[in-house]
């Protein structure tokens, strides 16, 4: 897979806070991080997303100074930080396991970095009180970490990491240990905190919903490489490659070959879904063997075939039988076996409460979607 | 209703077994302590309660000198052992994985099971070969070699339970590597080091074999002194000295286990004691 460089796409914008330029890291013969280039703007909330073992933590540890890159440069405000040890970098990290000091109270944990910075006692007290209020830990200042719940520990770790007002805060799976409810509320707090303090965050996660909710931009990593950097919407609606399309969210992939290509419109023959029409994406090469990707919520179902739109633009209509219905509360997920052989996943919102299961298993239906909703990708 | 009765029987059996075991272990000590308060000249004849043998001990210059030597040897060797043992434990758990690390780990434990006669004899040969005059320092060094591996084992097991990312977090928050160690790791392994120190202290205090190989004229330790007295017939004063030693050892052991408990409560697993 070809890696992307984010640097060129941003030429002309303000000086980045952080520039990662061709950074690589090998462990023995194994390449953990492979030529990653990325710019982070001041005040940005950036998420690093990728499957387990793809090198996210390693990249973060290089930014914090715990690992030395084998190649490339890391520039913080234009300065190469290669030779700067962790304790001299204006960067703080929130560790995956929180790494709270077990022998110190909540208060002393939060104040730890401030004491090292040589702040006055009164100043430290004021700052700690402010942080304790910010992460809502009032009344727990004297407790030891082991006397706290998981969510409270996580908030102590967060307060400790932001205490020194680092220009860049690195968070390694900050919410991984929390349950769904707590995670949702903490996500909102995290975002609010970042706005209030005006900090720059890089968050590592393998939870895509988390990345989508939190981040201004998302960098997707695979096998040590950065494969796409985009806003959440771009990432979801215009993935750069088949791998990204399949990794981010749910998607139907239909392989086919282009038969005609005219006026921004492609026609394809596919193995499992017959003839399809798709909108030609900009900057599309001249490959003929491609795949068409359609998100489940972009497909609609009806009992009778819908009429063609009068403008003459074809709507893709595929006949099939409902094979499986999954009720998920806010939406239902249908699996439709197409007559052509392929299988489509379709997601429909349950907009009305007393809406009897419109499409039952075994029912003949027509699945239809607009050519604009087709993502055409290299195979 | 038979289950509780059987449980009672079991527990009565347990209590009896426990009492028997404890009696076996502690009856001789209890008798020794009681006889240390014996007023009689004869060790085996009870002549009523008295503190005369304690008074006699505190008036016996030679015995007091030996006791002072023992305490000094124990304190110095325990301190050296605490430092060296901690360093060894750090090197073995924290150092880069080097070739033969497992072998080194194993070698560290060897003195734990080595017969004391062998340790004593080999040290004696070493000191003779080096031309060292035998006395306070040779005993102290010998005791340090004996006890530092105990400290290393205790500290190593505590270190293993401490997350490396704690030190990284300290560095992230502005500590240099040394400061990070002092601010985070040292407080966490401190109780284990203290426990190791006290164990080393008691081991040194009651060692006879190694001390008699490595000591020289004028620096006899208390066990050596007692042993030579006893060879000429047991005097009741020895009972008093032994009772005092038992008191000292018991005190250190109790403090050491309290320290270990404390270190365990501070997170992670406790050192084995
Ligand atoms: N110190 C090391 N020595 C050897 N290999 C390592 C070391 N640290 C990481 N690796 C390897 O590098 C790869 C990337 O590891 P990394 O921890 O960065 O993954 P990750 O993306 O953070 O995964 P996860 O989401 O599971 O935390 C992994 O395959 C891992 O086995
Ligand atoms: Mg990780």
- Bridge partners of A143, per DSSP, are none
Classify A214 as helix, strand or coil. helix
User: In this complex, which of A92, A103, A116 lies closest to B266 when CB atoms are compared?
Assistant: A103
Tell me how close the Cα of B192 comes to any Cα of chain A, in angstroms: 14
Mean per-residue pLDDT, B248-267: 74
pLDDT for A307: 64
User: Residue whose CA is closest, atom 3 of ligand 1?
Assistant: A27
How far is the C-alpha of B78 from the C-alpha of B140, rounded, in Å? 9
Q: How many residues does chain B have?
A: 273
pLDDT for B265: 57
CATH classification for the domain delimited by B52-270, as one of 1.20.1050.10, 1.10.3720.10, 3.90.1170.50, 3.20.20.100: 1.10.3720.10
Q: A256 exposed, middle or buried (CB, 10 Å; 0-12, 13-18, 19+)?
A: buried
pLDDT for A9: 46
Kind of pairing, strands A225-230 and A217-222? antiparallel
Element housing A175 (H / E): none
Element housing B259 (H / E): helix B236-265
List, for residues B135-159, the tens digit of each pLDDT value.
899 999 999 998 999 999 999 888 9
Cβ distance A101 to B175 less than 8 Å, yes or no, reads no
How far is the C-alpha of A316 from the C-alpha of A278, rounded, in Å? 9
> What is the distance between the terminal CA atoms of chain B, rounded to a whole angstrom?
41
Nearest alpha carbon to residue A213 among A175, A245, A251: A175
Structural domains of chain A ordered from first start? 18-242 (3.40.50.300), 250-378 (2.40.50.140)
- Bridge partners of B101, per DSSP, are none
A52 lines ligand 1 (CB under 6 A): yes
A26 lines ligand 1 (CB under 6 A): no
pLDDT for A12: 46
Return the ligand 1 atom nearest residue A33 CA.
14
List, for residues B216-227, the tens digit of each pLDDT value.
888 889 999 888
Classify B133 as helix, strand or coil. coil
Intervals of chain A under pLDDT 70: 1-14, 305-313, 355-357
pLDDT for B271: 35
- Bridge partners of A200, per DSSP, are A168
List, for residues A27-69, the tens digit of each pLDDT value.
988 999 999 999 999 999 999 999 999 999 999 999 999 999 9
Q: How many residues does chain A have?
A: 379
How far is the C-alpha of A284 from the C-alpha of B74, rounded, in Å? 82
For tokens 């950074």, the residue is A23
Residue B87's contacts (CB-CB under 8 Å, 6 or more residues apart) are none
List, for residues B39-98, the tens digit of each pLDDT value.
888 877 888 888 888 998 888 888 889 999 999 999 999 999 999 999 999 888 877 777
- Bridge partners of A349, per DSSP, are A331
List, for residues B96-130, the tens digit of each pLDDT value.
777 777 888 788 888 788 888 998 999 999 999 99
Count CB-CB contacts under 10 A for residue B74: 26
Question: Where in chain B are the domains?
Answer: 52-270
Nearest alpha carbon to residue A346 among A335, A330, A359: A335
Q: Choose, out of B166, B167, B174, B189, the residue to mutate when testing the contact with A (most A CBs < 10 Å).
A: B174
How far is the C-alpha of A322 from the C-alpha of A345, rounded, in Å? 10
B168 inside 8 A of chain A by CB? yes
How far is the C-alpha of B100 from the C-alpha of B131, rounded, in Å? 33
The answer on pLDDT for B4 being more than 80 is: no
For tokens 């928050």, the residue is B173
Cβ distance B165 to A99 less than 8 Å, yes or no, reads yes
> What is the distance between the terminal CA atoms of chain A, rounded to a whole angstrom?
12
- Report yes or no: B163 and B266 within 8 Å, Cβ to Cβ: no
Phi, psi dihedrals of residue A137, rounded to the nearest 5°: -120, 25
List, for residues B181-216, the tens digit of each pLDDT value.
999 999 999 888 988 998 899 899 889 999 999 988
Pocket mutation for ligand 1, best pick of A32, A93, A171, A205 (most atoms within 8 Å of C-beta): A32
Q: Choose, out of B167, B169, B191, B262, the residue to mutate when testing the contact with A (most A CBs < 10 Å).
A: B169
How far is the C-alpha of A81 from the C-alpha of A64, rounded, in Å? 10
How far is the C-alpha of A215 from the C-alpha of A43, rounded, in Å? 11
DSSP B4-34: HHHHHHHHHHHHHHHHHHHHHHHHHHHHHHH
ipTM of model: 0.77
pLDDT for B6: 58
Percent of chain B at pLDDT > 70 equals 91
Q: Is the pTM of this model over 0.80?
A: no
């Amino acid at each position: 897979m070809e890696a992307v460089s984010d640097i060129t796409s941003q030429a002309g914008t303000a000086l980045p806070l952080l520039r990662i330029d061709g950074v690589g890291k090998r462990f023995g013969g194994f390449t953990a991080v492979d030529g990653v280039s990325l710019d982070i703007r001041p005040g940005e909330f950036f998420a690093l997303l990728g499957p387990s073992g793809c090198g996210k933590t390693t990249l973060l540890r290089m930014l914090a100074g715990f690992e030395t890159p084998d190649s490339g440069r890391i520039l913080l405000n234009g300065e190469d930080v290669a030779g700067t040890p962790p304790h001299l970098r204006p960067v703080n990290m929130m560790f995956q396991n929180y790494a709270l000091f077990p022998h110190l109270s909540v208060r002393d944990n939060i104040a730890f970095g401030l004491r090292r910075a040589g702040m006055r006692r009164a100043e430290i007290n004021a700052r700690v009180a402010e942080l304790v209020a910010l992460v809502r830990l009032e009344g727990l200042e004297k407790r030891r970490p082991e006397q706290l719940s998981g969510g409270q520990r996580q908030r102590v770790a967060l307060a400790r990491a932001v205490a020194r007002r680092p220009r860049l805060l690195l968070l390694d799976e900050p919410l991984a240990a929390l349950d769904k409810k707590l995670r949702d509320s903490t996500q909102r707090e995290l975002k609010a905190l970042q706005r209030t303090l005006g900090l720059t965050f890089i968050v590592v996660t393998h939870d895509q919903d988390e990345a989508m909710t939190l981040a201004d931009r998302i960098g997707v990593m695979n096998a040590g490489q950065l494969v796409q950097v985009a806003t959440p919407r771009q990432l979801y609606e215009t993935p750069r490659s088949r791998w990204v399309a399949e990794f981010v969210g749910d998607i139907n992939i239909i392989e086919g070959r282009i038969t005609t290509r005219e006026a921004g419109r492609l026609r394809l023959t596919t193995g499992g879904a017959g003839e399809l029409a798709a909108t030609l994406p900009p900057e599309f090469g001249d490959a003929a063997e491609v795949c068409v990707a359609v998100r489940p919520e972009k497909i609609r179902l009806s009992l009778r075939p819908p009429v063609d739109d009068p403008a003459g633009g074809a709507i893709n209509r595929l006949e099939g039988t409902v094979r499986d219905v999954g009720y998920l509360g806010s939406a239902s997920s249908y699996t439709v076996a197409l007559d052509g052989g392929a299988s489509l996943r379709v997601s429909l919102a349950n907009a009305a409460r007393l809406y009897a299961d419109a499409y039952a298993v075994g029912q003949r239906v027509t699945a239809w979607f607009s050519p604009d909703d087709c993502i055409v990708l290299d195979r | 209703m038979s289950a509780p009765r059987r449980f009672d029987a079991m527990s009565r059996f347990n209590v009896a077994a426990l009492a028997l075991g404890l009696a076996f272990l502690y009856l001789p000590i209890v008798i020794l302590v009681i006889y240390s308060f014996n007023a009689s000249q004869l060790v085996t004849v009870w002549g009523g309660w008295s503190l005369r043998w304690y008074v006699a001990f505190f008036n016996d210059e030679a015995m007091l000198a030996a006791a002072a030597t023992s305490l000094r040897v124990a304190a110095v060797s325990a301190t050296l052992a605490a430092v060296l043992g901690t360093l060894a434990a750090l090197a073995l758990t924290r150092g880069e994985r080097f070739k033969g690390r497992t072998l080194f780990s194993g070698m560290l434990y060897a003195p734990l099971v080595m017969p004391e006669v062998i340790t004593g004899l080999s040290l004696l040969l070493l000191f003779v070969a080096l031309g060292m005059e035998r006395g306070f320092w040779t005993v102290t060094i010998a005791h340090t070699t004996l006890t530092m591996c105990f400290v290393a084992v205790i500290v190593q097991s505590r270190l293993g339970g401490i997350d490396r990312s704690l030190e990284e977090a300290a560095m992230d928050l502005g500590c240099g590597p040394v400061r990070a160690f002092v601010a985070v790791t040292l407080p966490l392994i401190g109780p284990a080091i203290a426990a190791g120190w006290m164990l080393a202290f008691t081991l040194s205090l009651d060692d006879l074999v190694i001390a008699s190989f490595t000591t020289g004229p004028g620096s006899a330790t208390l066990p050596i002194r007692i042993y030579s007295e006893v060879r000429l017939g047991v005097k009741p004063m020895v009972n008093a000295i032994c009772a005092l030693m038992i008191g000292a050892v018991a005190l250190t052991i109790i403090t050491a286990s309290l320290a270990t408990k404390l270190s365990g409560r501070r997170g992670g697993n406790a050192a084995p004691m």
